[in-house]
Structure 1
Amino acid sequence: MALIYEKKNHVATITLNRPEAHNAIDPQTVVELVDAWQDFSRDPQMRCAILTGAGEKSFCAGADLGKLIPLWTGARQPETDADRQVQANPMLAQKALLRDFTLAKPVIAAINGNAVGGGFEILYSTDIRVAAQGARFGLQEVRWSIVPAGGSTVHLTRQIPYARAMEMLLTGELIDAGQALADGFLNRVVPGERVMETAQRYAGIIANNGPLAVAAVKQAVRENSGKDVEAALAREMELAIPVFLSKDAQEGPRAFKQKREPVFTGE
């Protein structure tokens, strides 16, 4: 399997499973990733996802230059059903990398190793990021006369300071986890063996929170980015009111008063 998809205790774990290829995205991974994101999005029991890679060296090396890119250029003819799907719909890969797939639920990145190219770009759509100490990050596309069009020219300058983003985009040089943390791109940098443990801690906390409130917070932040303050505040209230009127909003304060953990149902 190019992907391992597991669900437990309201948390979905998605593991890129091609360690021998640095977890590069091939056509099979594209198809399986899209299926996993769709299932996670639709399953009312799933409240948070963890995205990680197999092995200790790479989180994701981006698009597989031998198997994925040649399908688009015509240098390779499709051999599998996944090949045919990706060739027929080149935007399927953008959906897999969350460029063109909007998730209402939080995603935590457990970055076990290097995140380069598309493997870096998918991180823009994650909400909390935990990285191994030895991980490196970057976009090397310009070195090969390619534009990093997985959202990098749009998202990177919004997520780290402009000058630092432009340095990465224009030079193609990689940065280490310490620099990514200093730039505000990461939440935590931990020893490699603690990456999943730390990500699971975040996921457990989020999964125990009110799912309607969590989804509304994420939607409000996403939709209000770039809006003027008055319009953003109005939209925030539009999203908040249905949550205030929900059964979960009654359960939360009641559980607090009764000194117990709340039991949220998403209603």
Structure 2
Amino acid sequence: MSEIDQSSPPGVSTEREGPILVVRIDREKVANALDPDSMVLLRHALEEFRDDSSLAVAIVTGAGQRAFCAGSDLGRTPPAGRPFAAALLAPWEEGVGDGGYVRAITLSEVAAGKPLIAAVNGHAAGGGLEIALDCDLRIASTTATFSLPEARWASIPAVGGLSHLLRAIPPAVAMKMLLTGHRIDAHEALRLGLVSDLYEPDELLDAALELARRIAANGPLSIRAITQLARRSYEVPLSQAIAMEQAMWGLLRDTSDRAEGRRAFSERRDPSYGGE
């Protein structure tokens, strides 16, 4: 790892390796649970990733090996201070945690088409699992666990957790997790397809970086196109999703990168892409 960003305040830290940004939830003493301040920092880190054209892939993980993220830090969530509507309609940073209402951090929306990898290095509970579900790829350590326990505390997973989980694994299993707070381990998550690969805890970040490098080596426009299409396709009928694919293919057809990819294939060499 190189180019460590020493200026990142406690709560969220970032490290950069070439076109890859590692975003680390850094509150290890509280199982990387997010308080309002760290939620703002997490969003800012993804905004910087979105706006930096030299960054292609982001990895989201947690500090240490105990937890990826335990969700919201309930001990630092303030009591109700103003009506729900006021918090909902306020500027994003003002609404975080206001009146007991935590504004949604939809990482995929902030990243705007750039792929996100969740490297789940321990417990992913509540909002932590919601963050992982919002990423495009998920890998995990063999010690990882996954749960959405909100119903036990008279709430619901409302930052996409319910909807994403029902799409990610068999609905019957998802409903068991949602209604009971049932926790599954890493091997069950792999069997269900919630994650694609498992690694030993000390190998997880290296594996995530290698996966990110493989993605970043491909055509940057095609990677963003695939990511955007994948996020949108399950929201529309199949015929519309296919029409979206055809339109995106047409946009990419005459790009310099696509021509370079075809030349590199015929010349049996690695392509050199410029994002054009």
- TM-score normalised over the length of structure 2: 0.87
2:215 paired with 1:213: no
2: CA distance, partners of 1:18 / 1:242: 43
Aligned to 2:152: 143
RMSD of the alignment, in Å? 2.2
| Matching residue's letter, 1:42 | D
- With 98-107 and 32-41 compared, the bigger mean Cα shift is at 98-107
| Matching residue's letter, 1:66 | G
Does the CA contact (< 8 Å) of 1:5 and 1:12 recur in 2? yes
Aligned to 1:176: 185
Alignment counterpart, residue 70 of structure 1, candidates 75, 78, 81: 78
| Matching residue's letter, 1:164 | V
2:112 paired with 1:103: yes
| Matching residue's letter, 2:244 | R
Secondary structure of 1:134's aligned partner: coil
Alignment counterpart, residue 56 of structure 2, candidates 41, 44, 47: 47
CA positional deviation for 1:143 = 0.8
Q: Note the alpha carbon deviations across 1:83-138, whole angstroms, 9 max, x for none.
A: 9663569877412x527646301111111110000000011211221111111110
Aligned to 1:127: 136
2: CA distance, partners of 1:217 / 1:91: 33
Q: Compared with structure 1, are the counterparts of its residues 84 and 232 closer, same or farther at alpha carbon in structure 2 (3 Å cutoff)? A: closer
Q: Note the alpha carbon deviations across 1:145-198, whole angstroms, 9 max, x for none.
A: 111111122211111110000000000121101111111100011111111111
Q: Compared with structure 1, are the counterparts of its residues 264 and 152 closer, same or farther at alpha carbon in structure 2 (3 Å cutoff)? A: same
Secondary structure of 1:70's aligned partner: coil
Secondary structure of 1:66's aligned partner: helix
| Bigger relative CO (Cα 8 Å, ≥ 6 apart) | 1
1: CA distance, partners of 2:184 / 2:22: 26
% identical equivalent positions = 37
Does the CA contact (< 8 Å) of 2:12 and 2:42 recur in 1? yes
1: CA distance, partners of 2:189 / 2:217: 29
2:182 paired with 1:185: no
Structure 2: any 5+ residue segments left out of the alignment?
1-9, 83-91
| Matching residue's letter, 1:215 | R
Does the CA contact (< 8 Å) of 2:81 and 2:100 recur in 1? no
Q: Compared with structure 1, are the counterparts of its residues 35 and 266 closer, same or farther at alpha carbon in structure 2 (3 Å cutoff)? A: same
Q: Compared with structure 1, are the counterparts of its residues 172 and 252 closer, same or farther at alpha carbon in structure 2 (3 Å cutoff)? A: same
2: CA distance, partners of 1:61 / 1:19: 10
Alignment of structure 1 residues 1-267 onto 2, 5 Å: 1-67=10-76, 69-71=77-79, 73-74=80-81, 86-87=96-97, 93-95=103-105, 97-98=106-107, 101=110, 103-267=112-276
| Matching residue's letter, 1:230 | S
1: CA distance, partners of 2:153 / 2:99: 24
Paired residues in the alignment total: 258
2: CA distance, partners of 1:227 / 1:65: 36
Structure 1: any 5+ residue segments left out of the alignment?
76-81
2: CA distance, partners of 1:118 / 1:99: 14
| Matching residue's letter, 1:232 | A
- With 224-233 and 201-210 compared, the bigger mean Cα shift is at 224-233
1: CA distance, partners of 2:256 / 2:108: 33
- TM-score normalised over the length of structure 1: 0.90
